[in-house]
Structure 1
Amino acid sequence: MTEQTIYLLKALFLGIIEGITEFIPVSSTAHLLILGSWIDFSSGDAKVFEVVIQFGSILAVVWIFRARLIQLIMGTLRGDRTEMMFTRNLLIAFLPAAVIGALTIQYVKALFHHQIVFVFTLILGGLLMLWVERKPQYAKNTSEANQGETATSQKATAFALEEITWKQALVVGFAQCVAMVPGTSRSGATIIGGMLAGIQRKTATEFSFFLAMPTMLAATVYDLYRNGASLSADQGTAIIVGFVAAFFSALFLVKAVLRFVSSRTYRPFAWYRIALGAVLFVWLMT
């Protein structure tokens, strides 16, 4: 195989990893950068590849929830109070990361080159998840699972999401700002932030999915605007390959994640984060 073919196969592999890890609280960025380093995948100093292919995963959510999104858009345009409140909450949760991210993106990207940062964020994030899951309201399975609701029920999704208050949405928004630190996990930070604000686990997960849409779209457009001209032809092709792979792998994972959180806690992911952080620390030290 040629060097270019091997390079694109590496991009394909990382795209699959992105789709698998984007919607579980284990940090897709950490996996992309760590595994990319281990397989000697060069994405350039700007790390555009890692940012842009995440939007491929987000498009999978757009496709899965397309009917709900159309309902949200049309309801907001018609002035439906419920849909307008949901849209308001998404905007409130989106704005903190949009403003702070635009101001600090260069400093945040500098952290991508220091893998020791991932050790601390992975382990601390795992410990925080364990602490939150020990709270009485999350210690048992969610009531949705006991009532036999399915994760794909659009009616159940709409009913749960419309109960979120603007204050809870704001907490989730600031939690998303914390997720700009590599290894934190955007989905993990927003889900745990929502749970700390009093939102049930499944609803917090669904809100995190919807919030990812404007957030990752903005990040993708901004990053391509800032760094697109400096990309080589090989890097541009790798982004396309990784983007498509992320879309299709995420397409099969999203519903599984919702089914999982309907009846189980995030403890397995917390322990996984701690174990991965420990392995990474040993690898860096040796």
Structure 2
Amino acid sequence: MLESPRRHADSVRSAARRPGLDLPPSAVADRHTTRLAPADRREAPVDPIEALLLGLAQGLTEFFPVSSSGHLAMLQALFGGRESGGLLFEVGVHVATLFAIAFFYRARIAELLRGFVARERETLEYVGKLALGTVPAVVIGLGAKDFIDEQFSNPSMVGVLLLTTGCIVMSTRWTAGKATAPVPSWGAALLIGCAQAFAILPGISRSGSTVAMALLLGVAPLAAAEFAFLLGIIAIAGAAVLMIPDLQNADLSAMTDLAIGGATALASGLVAITLFVRMLDRSLFHHWAWYCWGVGGAFLLWTMN
């Protein structure tokens, strides 16, 4: 899951600042870690091109198992580590990816709603498992906030955790033909939720960790993707709701750029989730590990240079 849009945005931007280069006096930097004081954070409106790029990055990397936080960190480095677009823009592109999931699984969501209203046992169990899978992220997100924030301020950690994501994804290589369960068990739902909580860390892919956990626990590929992404709806929606009070003072002057970013995130998200599910169904999921290793290794070397 997703971490909250504000925490997600803050973390990847601080991680994207290359250590030792152009840091203001109030920044405390060493070879491996950059921590910026609040006064050093700069919020600037995006332009249409930047809005399109940020929306594209969010839409694609939210669903491919490559970590959206890691990629946004690198993209933000190109923009000088600014608070691009502010909180409203960040919430907007995250909510756009929520709509992408909801549209892709619209038939399944409608089925669950009907079954829930009718009190069907199978549906109630499935919804209960989704609720159970949400608990670890809530508990860990609140209970380990200080530790998590520390990792967010460490630029090298993004590279390390992207490499870790690659290992997680590659671990599913040997599950082809063995994962056949149509729905996760209660125990599996909890462990998938733990994987989602692990993805609060920057560089860990939420889709990669949750789907990998489901496959390793014997859940069939398409069922694994469905459960992981429906779990993501709860995560994104919850994070957005928590940000509502902070949006009262949001800058509403760049609604056009917000619309561009949101529309791009929605469209690219739909493409990404479609391709992701097809690759998963064809047992190609583990190939994303090579990408994570390449990008993670390159970014780690860059931050330590």
**TM class by smaller structure:** 0.7 to 0.9
Corresponding residue of 1:124: 164
What code does the residue aligned with 1:278 have?
G
Q: Which residue of 2 aligns with 1:197?
A: 217
Match of 1:256? Answer: 275
Q: Is the 8 A contact 2:188 2:217 kept in 1?
A: yes
Any stretches of 5+ residues in structure 1 without a counterpart?
A: 144-159
Matched-pair contact (CA < 8 Å) for 2:172–2:286 = no
Counterpart-to-counterpart distance in 1, 2:300 and 2:144: 26
Deviation, structure 1 residue 235? 7.1
1:22 matched to 2:42? The reply is: no
2:65–2:169 CA contact under 8 A, matched in 1: no
Which residue of 271, 282, 295 corresponds with 1:276? 295
Q: Once structures 1 and 2 are overlaid, which stretch shifts more, 238-247 or 55-64?
A: 238-247
Per-residue deviation, 1:264 = 2.5
**C-alpha distance after superposition, 1:42-82 (max 9, x if no partner):** 22698775465222112111012212211101111111111
CA distance in 2: counterparts of 1:141 and 1:21, whole angstroms: 27
Contact preservation (8 Å) 2:70, 2:203: yes
> For 1:104-115, what aligned pairs fall within 5 Å after superposition?
104-105=144-145, 107-115=147-155
Q: What SS is found at the alignment partner of 1:53?
A: helix
Segment drifting more, 66-75 vs 35-44: 35-44
- Deviation (angstroms), 1:206: 1.8
> How many angstroms does 1:170 deviate by?
0.6
Which of 48, 58, 64 pairs up with 2:104? 64
Change (3 A) 1:201 1:280: same
Higher helix share: 1
Equivalent position of 1:92 in the other structure = 132
- The two structures have a TM-score, normalised by structure 1, of 0.81
Matched, 1:166 2:186: yes
Q: When the two structures are aligned, how many residues end up with a matched partner?
A: 262
Partner of 1:40: 80
AA aligned to 2:230 is: F
SS in 1 for 2:294: helix
Unpaired stretches in structure 2, ≥5 consecutive residues? 1-43
The amino acid of 2:73's aligned partner reads L
CA distance in 2, matches of 1:183, 1:15: 18
**Cα distance between partner residues in 2 of 1:223 and 1:116:** 28
Deviations 1:218-239 (A, max 9, x none): 01121343x3245434677655
Show the counterpart of 1:266: 285
The alpha carbon displacement at 1:41 in A equals 5.6
SS for the counterpart of 1:198 is coil
Supply the distance in 2 between the matched residues of 1:267 and 1:108 (Cα, whole angstroms).
27
Give the Cα separation in 2 of the matches to 1:274 and 1:82. 40
Q: RMSD of the TM alignment (CA)? A: 2.8
Percent of counterpart pairs with the same letter? 27
